[in-house]
Amino acid sequence: MSLHGPIVDRYPNNPILTGADFPPDSGIVRVFNSGVIKWRGRYIMACRAEDQALVGRIWIADSTDGYHFVPRPAPVAMPEDDPEYAEYTAGMIYDPRITELDGRCYLVHAAHSAHTCRLSLLETEDFEQFKWLGFISETDNRNGVLFPEKIKGLYARLDRPNPGEEFGDIWVSYSPDLIFWGRSRCVLRNCQVRWAWSKIGPATVPIKTPEGWLVIFHGVRTQCKSHYVYQLGVCLLDLEEPHRVLYRAEEAILEPRELYELVGQTPSVVFSAGAVVEDNGEVKIYYGAADTVMCLGTTSVERLLEACKHR
Ligand code: BMA
């Protein structure tokens, strides 16, 4: 791999999904930061779809090729009548990430309310019916993503506790049942990442390789005091002790550069919540651009490993 070439190639027909692709009566104007999984041979996107009143919904879109996604007629039905769910999601729900585990799919999303942000878990066997399993963190935690298998007999997840302004590192926690979490360890600190001094957080489901867990993450830096720039990075975590970072690319693997990444609801944002690894090693990274549209970038497991070691 070239020492200077791109690590991720943008899909030339970006964006791949916009608010205009949703049913005309849906009121959806933006779609971004959506989780994606390849499941039983088809691609499923759990969209973060937003209307003009800033009401966010999780809305499934289907694809047979990974490039063209068609939103369903209606969003995922959430347990809005449940008083506990309603209290802690009163602000918005966002940034869903999907993991397949033991034949079921789990979706972790952020939930914002007057209590700030926490993580919520849904389960599905068919992407038609979703069962809400509960909140799985206290407040001030987001970017939760489950590992695709247990580690040393426990479920594992990465997340980003946020103990203060302008602060946020990547942590790993473990659980016997996906509901109760503990044994938390810090994985990577924002101050270690040269281009992301404000905060970092896990992006996509960790990708298992013989050398370790490949983890794509986002990193944020603050420009001119108030302008945030969101980029993507990659690191390799130990298979058995994922709080140990084996390698990390010094460079960002994707930074806002194209107009659709620079201009939108929030300027200068690339933010990923889903990647698909194909049988030939290609990695499709789905990402929200400028908090407005969904885009695609492609790379490979090999290129990401190389980037971890040499970039
Ligand atoms: C973060 C999250 C993301 C969003 C980003 C940029 O804090 O809320 O959903 O893309 O800000 O606005």
Q: What is the pLDDT of residues 115-161, one digit of tens each?
A: 999 999 999 999 999 999 999 999 999 999 999 999 999 999 999 99
Rounded to the nearest angstrom, the distance between the alpha carbon of 112 and the centre of ligand 1 is 12
Rounded to the nearest angstrom, the distance between the alpha carbon of 33 and the centre of ligand 1 is 8
Domain 13-310 has CATH 1.10.287.3510: no
Pocket test of ligand 1: the residue of 48, 118, 165, 266 to mutate, having most ligand atoms within 8 Å of its CB, is 266
Answer yes or no: is pLDDT of 55 > 60: yes
Q: Is the shortest distance between the CB of 116 and ligand 1 below 6 Å?
A: no
Average pLDDT, rounded, for the chain: 96
- pLDDT value, residue 224: 85
pLDDT confidence bin for 2, thresholds 50/70/90: low
Instruction: Encode pLDDT of 63-91 as tens digits.
Output: 999 999 999 999 999 999 999 999 999 99
- pLDDT value, residue 38: 98
pLDDT confidence bin for 165, thresholds 50/70/90: low
Rounded to the nearest angstrom, the distance between the alpha carbon of 170 and the centre of ligand 1 is 15
With a pLDDT cut of 70, the percent of the chain lying above it is 98
Rounded to the nearest angstrom, the distance between the alpha carbon of 179 and the centre of ligand 1 is 25
What's the average model confidence in pLDDT over 216-234?
93
Interior/surface letters 147-185, b for 16+ CB within 10 angstroms, e for the rest: bbeebeebbbbbbbbbeeeeebbbbbbbbeebeebeeee
Q: Could you tell me if 19 and 32 are in contact, meaning their C-beta atoms sit under 8 angstroms apart?
A: no
pLDDT confidence bin for 5, thresholds 50/70/90: confident
Rounded to the nearest angstrom, the distance between the alpha carbon of 309 and the centre of ligand 1 is 28
- pLDDT value, residue 244: 98
Q: Is the shortest distance between the CB of 213 and ligand 1 below 6 Å?
A: no
Rounded to the nearest angstrom, the distance between the alpha carbon of 291 and the centre of ligand 1 is 7
What's the average model confidence in pLDDT over 38-56?
96
Checking 180-188 for CB contacts under 8 A at 24+ apart, the result is: 181/136, 181/137, 181/157, 183/154, 185/243, 186/243, 187/158, 187/237, 187/242, 187/243, 187/245, 188/217, 188/235, 188/245, 188/248
Q: Is the shortest distance between the CB of 231 and ligand 1 below 6 Å?
A: no
Answer yes or no: is pLDDT of 264 > 70: yes
Q: Is the shortest distance between the CB of 33 and ligand 1 below 6 Å?
A: yes
Q: Could you identify the atom of ligand 1 that is nearest to the CA of residue 269?
A: 6
Q: Could you tell me if 212 and 241 are in contact, meaning their C-beta atoms sit under 8 angstroms apart?
A: no
Q: Is the shortest distance between the CB of 94 and ligand 1 below 6 Å?
A: yes
pLDDT confidence bin for 226, thresholds 50/70/90: confident
Burial degree of 116 (CB within 10 A; 0-12, 13-18, 19+):
middle
Q: How far apart are the first and last CA of the chain?
A: 10
- pLDDT value, residue 213: 98
With a pLDDT cut of 90, the percent of the chain lying above it is 94
| Choice between 165 and 46, residue whose per-residue pLDDT is larger | 46
Q: Is the shortest distance between the CB of 266 and ligand 1 below 6 Å?
A: yes
Pocket test of ligand 1: the residue of 31, 33, 108 to mutate, having most ligand atoms within 8 Å of its CB, is 33
Answer yes or no: is pLDDT of 217 > 80: yes
- For CA atoms 15, 8, 155, 193, the dihedral sign is negative
The two structure tokens encoding residue 250:
């010094």
Q: Is the shortest distance between the CB of 50 and ligand 1 below 6 Å?
A: no
Rounded to the nearest angstrom, the distance between the alpha carbon of 94 and the centre of ligand 1 is 9
pLDDT confidence bin for 225, thresholds 50/70/90: confident
Q: Could you identify the atom of ligand 1 that is nearest to the CA of residue 94?
A: 9
- pLDDT value, residue 168: 87
- pLDDT value, residue 298: 98
State the Cα–Cα distance between residues 268 and 254, nearest whole angstrom.
11
The residue whose CA has the least distance to atom 4 of ligand 1 is: 291
pLDDT confidence bin for 164, thresholds 50/70/90: low
The residue whose CA has the least distance to atom 9 of ligand 1 is: 95
What's the average model confidence in pLDDT over 284-310?
97
Q: Could you identify the atom of ligand 1 that is nearest to the CA of residue 95?
A: 9
What's the average model confidence in pLDDT over 273-289?
98
